[in-house]
Amino acid sequence: MAKLLVKAWKGYNAVLISKPILAPAVSTGVLMGAGDLLAQSVEASQQAAKAKGTEGVNWRRTARLFTLGCCLYGPWLNQWYKFLATRFQGQRLALVKMVSADQLVMAPCVIGSYLTVVTYLNTADATKVSQQLRLFPEVLLNNYKVWPAVQTVNFLFVPVHLRLILANCVALLWNTYMSWMAHQASH
């Protein structure tokens, strides 16, 4: 089993190097979709506790998040990690600067766009988007409880071409939270 995992990891690493845009994009899409499926499981459990009979998986919702991961967040964040590595390479306090830039620039952009785009795609209602954006401070605060530590480890120990996949692995749970928060307007 261990040999199979090592072989799979080496293969994935080779694909990341040979397909530096496609592989991270698809990885992000898969993990965003998986996060949404987990969020739907949590929602279904909560609904089942309140009443018998819940709806099945909303595959359209999951497909939208998969598509956003592949087409927007995967490429965007992959380029962001490359930018940070080249922009701050060799600078004094590079780690502090990278984590600060990530958390003060990128985190608000990702959270704001996520709440806006996902809510609009699910409701097509600008009023609901406005309501969701009221959650922005809470979500950003929760981001600051998780991501600075994750990104510190990521920027210190992980090669640039693997940073998005490490972030995506942690983001599986974060995306579950984000999906759950973003879909509260739909209910």
pLDDT along the chain (187 residues), means of 10: 77 81 83 81 68 70 90 94 93 94 97 91 87 90 96 95 90 77 62
pTM of the model: 0.79
**What pLDDT does 55 receive?**
65
**What pLDDT does 46 receive?**
63
Q: Are 186 and 122 in contact (CB under 8 A)?
A: yes
CA distances from 82 to 130, 155, 160 (A): 33, 11, 6
**What pLDDT does 177 receive?**
76
**What pLDDT does 72 receive?**
93
